[in-house]
């Protein structure tokens, strides 16, 4: 009798654990979102005046995007460190092959740059592969750090994706950053060597003048 009761309890426990794991898996799948990612995730720029670019990707490795009709990407930055010079639509973007309208708005004085793309008429795309959206080109203005972030996530005049019904598609934003650092030039190297030589010579003189006991 006790053996049968034990088996029933064990079976109940196994079934309960299986249902718990299944419900957790379903919940995690429901919470998964596509990502808008700025690549590279960090950029090091060697000197002021140099240019660099980042690409915004639609990453669907966690969740696909259904009935994508368009997007608006608004990137904010520190305008004392970098300025945006141009924005271009990437080849192979999710709406490639459809009739589209695309525009850009670069406002360096207000520290943002924006790209918009939308299909014409009743066209849309189902995105099942990770694809690039647009490229932002920048010039370094001064030494320091700047975040490159998505502004106004999910808001009109911010960063969003919409479907064929005009409904905003939820996503996870993944930002980037840039550091402008001075290049270790030949002049800087010579200055460092001269300083090191002077310190060594001074230390040697002091050692010679120190009386030995």
**Residue 211 counted as domain residue:** no
pLDDT average, residue stretch 53-73: 97
The predicted structure's pLDDT at residue 3 = 53
Number of domains within the chain: 2
Same domain, 10 and 111: no
Same domain, 26 and 40: no
What is the rounded distance in angstroms from the CA atom of residue 139 to the CA atom of residue 144? 13
Same domain, 73 and 150: yes
What is the rounded distance in angstroms from the CA atom of residue 64 to the CA atom of residue 137? 28
Same domain, 15 and 88: no
What is the rounded distance in angstroms from the CA atom of residue 124 to the CA atom of residue 96? 10
Range of the structural domain that residue 130 is part of:
33-184
Residues 92-133: tens digit of each pLDDT: 999 999 999 999 999 999 999 999 999 998 899 999 999 999
Answer whether 0.95 is exceeded by the pTM: no
- With a CB cutoff of 8 Å and minimum separation 6, the contacts of 154 are 160, 168, 170
Same domain, 8 and 106: no
Same domain, 9 and 54: no
């Amino acid at each position: 009798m006790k053996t049968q009761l034990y088996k029933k309890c064990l079976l109940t426990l196994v079934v309960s654990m299986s249902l718990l794991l299944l419900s957790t898996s379903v919940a995690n799948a429901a919470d998964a979102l596509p990502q808008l990612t700025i690549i590279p995730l960090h950029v090091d720029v060697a000197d002021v005046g140099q240019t660099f670019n980042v690409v915004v990707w639609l990453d669907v490795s966690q969740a696909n995007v259904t009935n994508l009709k368009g997007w608006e990407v608004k990137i904010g930055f520190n305008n004392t460190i970098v300025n945006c010079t141009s924005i271009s639509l990437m080849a192979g973007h999710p709406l490639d092959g459809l009739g589209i309208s695309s525009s850009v708005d670069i406002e360096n004085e207000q520290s943002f740059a924006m790209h918009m793309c939308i299909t014409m008429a009743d066209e849309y795309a189902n995105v099942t592969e990770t694809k690039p959206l647009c490229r932002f080109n920048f010039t370094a203005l001064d030494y320091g750090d700047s975040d490159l972030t998505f502004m106004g996530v999910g808001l009109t005049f911010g960063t969003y994706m919409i479907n064929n019904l005009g409904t905003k598609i939820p996503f996870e934003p993944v930002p980037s950053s840039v550091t402008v650092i001075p290049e270790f030039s030949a002049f800087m190297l010579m200055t460092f060597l001269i300083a090191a030589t002077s310190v060594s010579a001074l230390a040697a003189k002091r050692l010679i003048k120190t009386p030995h006991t």
